[in-house]
Amino acid sequence: MPSELLIGLIFLPLLGACLTVLPWRWSTRLGVFAGLVSLPVLLVALTLAVIREGAWYYSLGGWTAPLGIRLFVDPLALLMLWMVAIIGGVAAAHAWHDFRPGTPEGARFWPLWLLLTAAMNALFLSADLFNLYVCLELVTLAAIPLIAMAGTATSIRAAMRYLLLALLASLVYLLGVALLYNATGTLDLYLMTQTLAASDGPATSLAFALIAVGLLLKGAVFPLHVWLPNAHASAPGPVSAVLSALVVKTAVYLVYRLWLWTLPAEDPMQGAVELFAVLGAAALIYGGILALLQERLKLVIAYSTVAQLGYLLLVLPLASVTAWQAASYQLLSHGLAKAAMFLAAANILHAVGSDRLADLERLDQRTPLSLFALALGGVSIMGLPPSGGFLAKWLLLEAAWQEGRWLLLFVLVLGSLLAAGYVFRILAAALRRADPTEAEDAEGTSPIGRRQAGYALLLALLALLAGFGAAPILEVIDAGAPAGWSAP
Amino acid sequence: MNLQEVVATALLLSGCFFYIAGTVGLLRFPDVFSRLHALTKADNLGLLLICGGLAVQQGSPRIAGLLLVIWLLGLLAATVSCHLIARRALQMTDPEQRP
Amino acid sequence: MIALTIDAIIAIGIVWLALQTVRGANVFSAIIMFIVFGLIMSLAWARLHAPDLALAEAAIGAGITGALLLVTWRRVHVLEGRTPQVGMAARSLWLTLPTALAAALLIASLGWVALTLPAEPATAGELAWQRLPEMGVSNPVTGVLLGFRAYDTLLEMAVLLAAWLGARVVASELRPGALPGPAHEEVPLVGALLSLVVPISLLVAVYLLQAGGSAPGGAFQGGAVLAAGGVLLCLTGRLESADQTSLIERIVLILGLAVFSSVGLMMLPLGEPMLAMPGVWAIYLIETALLLSIALTLVLLFAAAPGLRRSS
């Protein structure tokens, strides 16, 4: 029974996408309902199963690896699936207003959105290197037209650049996979560990290097991040939310899987984790500084994504349970908070007509709920208690302290300061009163639906709640820590 | 080498020679029409010789029949595209400079 | 000896053609070089004893992709009134030199590493050969694509659907306009060509589908050949762009993915794992659906139109 849940998580959105291609309104509604609303339901059952039984594999077609493709579910995969369901679901609810079924935009939007959901679920569950390549391609090809749906020249150009760079990344990744297959004889992530421990040579090292380059490019890790800010900033609101919160995480998730599960601990390529940490630190500082310099709200938030992804890589050399908790919590809370900020920014853009920081003012009167959501999201990004982001950063500081990594500590503190800088800059611009004598009313503001504001707020509150309700989540996450990341 | 292989090799080599001749014509002739002339004449005959050589080499009537179909299809494609190219080139040249 | 000469010619040819493509004086000659590159590449696949790949490369890589590139060139040339230019990036030394060096370094490392790999690696492919008879087909490529790794092929169909959906989004934003049709009245030869070639493409497509079980072939190659027939119909004005995607077209577009998923899901209530093939009939059923979806998707991508209809 639990394995059918895995199938449902992938195939309900996939078949839902097929339904939404058909031209009737009822088929679109049915497709979206079946593809998105079913996910949390399935995940509740799956969570209970994982708590009861731990992690397990499922062989598709009955062919066991190395011949066939396996699916693998463990607490990390479960966490990512929950994020897709919740963040994707709330963003979809936000998108329902702008992309109604029956309109041409809606007809083009929902099939792609559902394919993206299916692709992400398939990616987080897959245990096969080539299958992961196909999932990565599907994620990319579904996300890019969604960016272009904004219709502006910037968005189309940004989407095109993302497409070309993503294809290059996929090719480099595939080259690495081909080398690995030849050297180890299998494509399964978890079977490969034994073969790698035995046959370790320049081929596998080059393969892992190539795969790393491909994944870093897809994950917009410094210095390969150039495509991200424009792509995420020019996309429609819900699309930006899912891109920053989920799509870039797929690449980081794969780096985790490959280095912490597949690569044996004694392999020389493990030294690459130090390089990852350096790149993460550079991303944190570079992204933070550039976020401080941006003039447009969505660009600030996009550069913040570049910075916050750095945290996820900084964790890699620390190798302790605390570090694992920190990484998982950063994945979760950044996803929730960033999606909240992008949805709120979309609301503000709709209300004010422009997202230039200079044009924002008196937002506490014009868009109170959205501003509140933006602020709450910012609180989590900054790492202020009691948000989930605070917990993640605190655990990260603790892990670095335990390992005696003073440079890392310094970088972490610097990163938080920069985050505080750009979040407060946004809030200052939003609360500005240009003309103190002007009548304080909501003139010049297009109304936002109550629901639209509500969705952004919901995600922000969840980011906050993640800080409160940490204990049970951490317990499940601890069970899924990679081997070798034992208690400090 | 027996007779079959000798004949097959001879046919294949002469086919290659015709192709080379056609390509030389393509590179050396001054205008579109003479180039088309050289290319299609030489390539069709070259393809026939190569198909014939392969048919002899395989020695099977079924394969020979399939190769004949391939040659006919190649002929058809070359004919129509040559005609279309020539027609377009004719329309694009000045009336005074037409051959 | 002869084999080595042929391989050397093909190898040098591939590299030289790639160089010409990148260095092309104009975009048009680069496109032509790219098409020829695809054809020589399919020869390379044939020499590597991969006839399925050779067929796919010739049909899709050189054929359909070449047609797509040429029609794009023509669109830019005719509809926008300008000749497509090689981008600034390709001319800047700052970009090309480091890229070339990085590529050379990559090739060198690959070559050096390839020397350390075992000549006869013990891969999962060996297992596939052994268990192929259980699939009921004798072509190992079909066995892998639709049997052992059917899930990958299913997701690839989703990728194809995403590509068409994405093209539809961008086309609706950029509005490429109707396919540039023949500028003058038609030559009678073209009608004769169509009446011969289109039925042959249908025949070859169905043959490739049926033969895929035991010989090189399969749904992808057949779909590409069928799409080639469709492209000819578009080019000669027999099919023209429609503003809406008709219901039939929508059904055919999702048919591959839907049938594949349904056959796979059908196994679950029967107690079998997902995507276990109940028999060879399932493979042929799925391949037929794939053939139709692939062919229609490729033709629609070529026409850059939401739909097609018979011209009046």
Domain residue limits at C228: 138-312
Tell me if A156 and C173 make a contact (CB, 8 A cut-off): yes
Q: Residue A128 and residue A138: Cα distance in Å, rounded?
A: 15
pLDDT recorded at residue A28: 92
* Among chain A residues, CA nearest to C259: A15
Residues C76 and C162 in one domain: no
Quick one: closest CA in A to C130, which residue? A67
- The model's confidence at residue A267, banded by pLDDT at 50, 70 and 90, is confident
One domain, residues C201 and C289: yes
**Same domain (yes/no): C145, C99:** no
Q: Which residues of C touch A182 (CB under 8 A)?
A: 117, 121, 123
Which of C107, C125, C151 is the last residue in one of the domains? C107
Higher per-residue confidence, B74 vs A365: B74
Interchain CB distance below 8 Å, C193 and B80: yes
Residues in chain C with CB shorter than 8 Å from the CB of A11 are 261, 264-265
Instruction: Please indicate, yes or no, whether residues C150 and C192 belong to a single structural domain of this protein.
Output: yes
Q: Indicate if the alpha-carbon torsion angle A327, A331, A332, A336 is positive or negative.
A: positive
Examine the domain organization and report whether C272 and C162 are in the same domain.
yes
Residue C151 has pLDDT above 90, yes or no: yes
- Judged by 3 or more CB pairs under 8 A, whether B touches C is yes
| Cα distance between residue A230 and residue A330, in whole Å | 23
What confidence tier does C179 reach under pLDDT thresholds 50, 70, 90?
low
Q: Pick from C66, C88, C107: which residue ends a domain?
A: C107
pLDDT number for residue C185: 66
B73·C200 Cβ contact <8 A: yes
* Neighbouring chains to C with at least 3 Cβ pairs closer than 8 Å: A, B
Chain A residues in contact with C151 by the CB 8 A cut-off are 60-61, 69, 131
Q: Which amino acid is at C68?
A: L
Mean pLDDT of chain C: 87
Tokens of B79: 């004919």
The reply to whether C96 and C153 lie within a common domain is no
> In terms of CA atoms, which chain B residue is nearest residue C197?
B73
Mean pLDDT of chain A: 90
Residue A411 has what pLDDT?
92
What is d(CA C260, CA A61) in angstroms, rounded to the nearest whole number? Answer: 13
Whether A213 contacts chain C with CB within 8 A: no
> In which band, very low, low, confident or very high, does the pLDDT at A443 lie, cut at 50, 70 and 90?
low
Instruction: Give a yes or no: residue C293 inside a domain.
Output: yes
* Contact assignment for A185 to C172 by CB distance below 8 Å: no
Q: What is the pLDDT of residue A434?
A: 73
In order, the DSSP letters of A59-99 are: EGGGPPTTTS-EEEE-HHHHHHHHHHHHHHHHHHHHHHHHS
Nearest CA in chain C to B75: C193
* pLDDT for residue A151 is more than 90: no
Q: Which of C151, C257, C277, C296 to mutate to test the interface with A (most CBs of A within 10 A)?
A: C151
Confidence of residue A471 (pLDDT cuts 50, 70, 90): confident
| Distance in angstroms (rounded) separating the CA atoms of residues C62 and C32 | 10
* The predicted structure's pLDDT at residue A67: 85
Give the pLDDT band (50/70/90) at residue B94. Answer: low
Which has the minimum average pLDDT: A382-386, B56-60, C73-77, C253-257?
C73-77
Residue C124 forms part of a structural domain: no
Residue of C nearest to A114 (CA): C162
Provide the 3-class DSSP secondary structure of residue C239.
strand
The pLDDT assigned to A441 comes to: 55
Q: Give the per-residue pLDDT at A421.
A: 94
Rounded Cα–Cα distance for residues C299 and C68 (Å): 10
Distance from CA of A33 to the nearest CA of C (A): 17
Tell me if there are at least 3 CB pairs under 8 Å linking chains A and B: no
Residues whose CB is less than 8 angstroms from the CB of residue A12 and which lie 6 or more positions away in sequence, other chains included? A34, A35, A38, A39, A42
Check pLDDT > 60 for residue A464: yes
Contact by Cβ (8 Å): A468, A462: no
Pairwise CB contact (< 8 Å): C161 & A111 = yes
Q: Which two tokens stand for residue B12?
A: 């294949």
pLDDT in tens, C52-67: 999 999 999 888 999 9
A206 lies within 8 A of chain C by CB: yes
What span, in angstroms and rounded, lies between the C-alpha atoms of B76 and C116?
50
By Cβ distance, the residue of A67, A156, A179 closest to C170 is: A156
Residue finishing a domain among C87, C107, C127:
C107
Q: pLDDT by residue (tens digit) across A88-123? A: 999 999 999 889 888 888 899 999 999 999 999 999
Determine which helix (DSSP H) or strand (DSSP E) holds A284, and give its type and residue range: helix A272-293
Note the pLDDT of residue A382.
Answer: 92
Position C114 in a domain: no
Instruction: Number of B to C CB contacts under 8 A, please give it.
Output: 18
Q: Does C197 touch chain B (CB under 8 A)?
A: yes
Mean pLDDT check: name the lowest of B18-32, C36-50, C177-191, C266-280: C177-191
Which residues contact residue C283 at a Cβ distance below 8 angstroms, ignoring those fewer than 6 apart?
C135, C136, C137, C142, C146, C147, C213, C277
Give residue-wise pLDDT tens across range C227-255.
999 999 988 888 888 888 899 999 999 99
A444 pLDDT tier (thresholds 50, 70, 90): low
A212, burial (CB in 10 Å: exposed 0-12, middle 13-18, buried 19+): buried
Q: Does C102 share its domain with C142?
A: no
CB contact under 8 A, C189 and B91: no
**Separation between Cα atoms, residue A417 and residue A333, nearest integer Å:** 18
Which candidate in C70, C78, C186, C193 is best for mutational testing of the B interface (most B CBs within 10 A)?
C193
Distance from CA of C106 to the nearest CA of A (A): 9
* Candidate from A233-237, B69-73, C115-119 with smallest mean pLDDT: C115-119
Mutate to test the interface with A, among C48, C53, C134, C159 (most CBs of A within 10 A): C159
Domain contains C115: no
User: Do A462 and A336 contact (CB within 8 A), yes or no?
Assistant: yes
The answer to whether the CB atoms of B84 and C190 lie below 8 A apart is yes
Q: Which candidate from A22, A69, A141 shows the least CB-CB separation from C163?
A: A141
Domain count for chain C? 2
Residues C100, C147: one domain? no
C123 within some domain: no
Beta carbons of C247 and A122 less than 8 Å apart = no
Number of neighbouring beta carbons within 10 Å of residue C177: 14
Q: What are phi and psi of B94, to 5 degrees?
A: -65, 150
Residues C146 and C86 reside in one and the same domain:
no
Q: Which of A165-174, A271-280, A396-405, C113-122 has the lowest mean pLDDT?
A: C113-122
Q: Report the DSSP beta bridge partners of residue A57.
A: A72
- Cβ <8 Å between B80 and C196: no
Q: Which residue has the higher pLDDT, C148 or A359?
A: C148
CA C137 → CA A407, C140, C145, C274, C279, distances in Å? 60, 8, 11, 20, 10
Give me the percent of chain A exceeding a pLDDT of 90.
60
Query: Distance between CA B16 and CA C196 in Å, rounded?
Result: 28
Mean pLDDT of C21-33: 86
Q: Which residue of B has its CA nearest to C183?
A: B88
Judge whether residue A488 has pLDDT over 60. no
Do the strands A56-59 and A70-73 form a parallel or antiparallel pair, or are they unpaired?
A: antiparallel
Token representation of residue C64: 């359909």
Residues of C whose CB is below 8 A from A119: 155, 158
pLDDT of residue A207: 92
Rounded to two decimals, what is the model's pTM?
0.93
* pLDDT at site A198: 78
